[in-house]
Structure 1
Amino acid sequence: MISINEFFIKQVAQPRNDYKELLDLSLIFLDGLPEGTASFKCPGLMHHTRWMAKAIYSLKIFMFRDQFSFSKREIDSLRQICTFIILIYFKVWFTCSVAIQAPNNDLQLLKKLLSCPEIQLPMLQKALKNLSAHLWYLDEELAALALFDNNVSDEMKRKMCRAISQNEQSNIIREKRYVARKLDLMSFSNKDLSEFFLKNSLKLFETFDLPCDFLEVDVSLWPNNESYKDNLDFFKQLSVVNDVAERGIALIEDYNNCLTKNEEQ
């Protein structure tokens, strides 16, 4: 079972109630209990684009499955959905707003989808198909964010630094989205972050007018290097646009509902 203590030991304030509800339900699903009183909220509206509602309701239905008349096939399918949510998508979703963890998270998610015996093959294939349309995010510039990720080992960061100075070009092409879809996904099983690093990776620092001379010293010295600390402070504050935009839209909708219930207005 995956470790999700980082999400539950410290009850970090969530920007939305459905985020917090999914956290609580996931802990209950794993035979734990959230801090305070555990309760189940009544189902509300669900739109086909709101995956969060689907995840929440799937967990609830499975927990109360004895109160429904389900066939064995339906129970098994529901169990698979819940297993996918907990094993695969849970941690990725709740860390997606952390920009410096994005490159490693994306690569590790892809590797887990390629080799996860707990999930049935049809579900994994569907997830891989959807993910393959977004592999262009794993480009050489954004990959440089992983230099500031504490989940990436020092040895891997050394390898990444060597790759920057040695690699002029890569056989992993992500210039266009349609090119990413044509890649052999199984080839990613044995890849590491260093294979996404080129000399072009330095453009990330040029774009934000930040120094990158810390790359010339050993990784063990980075915590005390002023150049590295300046970069770390900056990129830790870098926002992931999709996540921020979604929260902003929800805030605007809530505010608008306080003023009027007329959809046209």
Structure 2
Amino acid sequence: MAKLIYAVKIYFFRGQANLTARESAGILRYVKFIVSVYVPAWYAAPSPTSAPANDLALLKDLVGYEDKSLAKALADGFARRHSWYLSESLVPLAFFDEDLSLGRKRAMIEAFSSNEGSEDLTKRAVVDLKADLSQKTLADFVTKSSRMFFVTLGIDDGFLETDPAEWHDDPRYVAAAR
């Protein structure tokens, strides 16, 4: 974050810094990205339950970013190295995300029975950046194998048999969320 703040300061005082046109354009390019994409993602990062939704949103922001050469490089790197919260073994964290809509949670529950899973739950999610990412939802990353999340953590997943609107009254959900 210090480098980001420093870059913003350089941009604000670029007239006093005697930057070349190329340096000025480069710092502007960097600051635009920081302000529009990186900072919102950075502030959302501390919440593990919202990490799957935040990572998917960040990936969509990266792919749709106006500077296409920067967008491609960043999206490729993120998809290869930082997509573990979208993996079938960690995407169930989103069931405990207070900001995720009930409809999205319902779609994730349906995906448990319709999407085939992997035997290797340690693998990262594979995100096809050539596909239309704007239509992807968290349910696309949930598979039959995602139920192992609850088994591994010793969580009673019986609350998944009820509607997400009723979860806050279900002691199994309350205990799992804690």
Please classify the TM superposition score into its range, dividing by the shorter chain length: 0.7 to 0.9
Q: Distance in 2 between matches of 1:161 and 1:67?
A: 57
8 Å CA contact 2:121, 2:145 repeated in 1 = no
Deviations 1:68-103 (A, max 9, x none): 212333222211211111111112222323111111
- RMSD of aligned Cα (Å): 2.2
Q: How many pairs does the alignment contain?
A: 175
Runs of 5+ in structure 2 lacking a partner?
A: none
Instruction: Specify which of 27, 35, 60 is matched with residue 86 of structure 1.
Output: 35
1:122 aligns with 2:69: yes
Structure with the bigger RCO (C-alpha within 8 Å, sep 6+) is 2
Instruction: Specify which of 109, 114, 129 is matched with residue 58 of structure 2.
Output: 109
1:196 aligns with 2:141: yes
Q: Distance in 1 between matches of 2:77 and 2:116?
A: 30
- After TM superposition, give the deviation of residue 231 of structure 1 in Å: 1.2
Deviations 1:15-63 (A, max 9, x none): xxxxxxxxxxxxxxxxxxxxxxxxxxxxxxxxxxxxx332121011111
1:254 aligned partner: none
Aligned partner letter, 1:125: K
8 Å CA contact 1:142, 1:201 repeated in 2 = yes
Q: Distance in 2 between matches of 1:98 and 1:217?
A: 25
* Structure 1 residues 163 and 190, CA gap change in structure 2 (3 angstroms): same
TM-score, structure 2 normalization: 0.88
Runs of 5+ in structure 1 lacking a partner?
A: 1-51, 234-265
Q: Distance in 2 between matches of 1:107 and 1:135?
A: 11
Aligned partner letter, 1:200: S
Q: Distance in 1 between matches of 2:117 and 2:148?
A: 14
8 Å CA contact 1:55, 1:85 repeated in 2 = yes
8 Å CA contact 1:104, 1:146 repeated in 2 = yes
Correspondence 1:1-265 to 2 at 5 A? 52-117=1-66, 120-134=67-81, 136-137=83-84, 138-169=86-117, 176=123, 180=126, 184-187=128-131, 188-233=133-178
Larger radius of gyration between Structure 1 and Structure 2: 1
8 Å CA contact 1:205, 1:211 repeated in 2 = yes
Q: Secondary structure at the match of 1:99?
A: coil
- After TM superposition, give the deviation of residue 176 of structure 1 in Å: 4.7
- After TM superposition, give the deviation of residue 175 of structure 1 in Å: 5.9
Q: Percent identity?
A: 34
1:18 aligned partner: none
Q: Distance in 2 between matches of 1:186 and 1:175?
A: 24
* Structure 1 residues 57 and 135, CA gap change in structure 2 (3 angstroms): closer
Moved more, 150-159 or 123-132: 123-132
Deviations 1:120-150 (A, max 9, x none): 2222122123212225512112000011112
Q: Distance in 1 between matches of 2:121 and 2:137?
A: 16
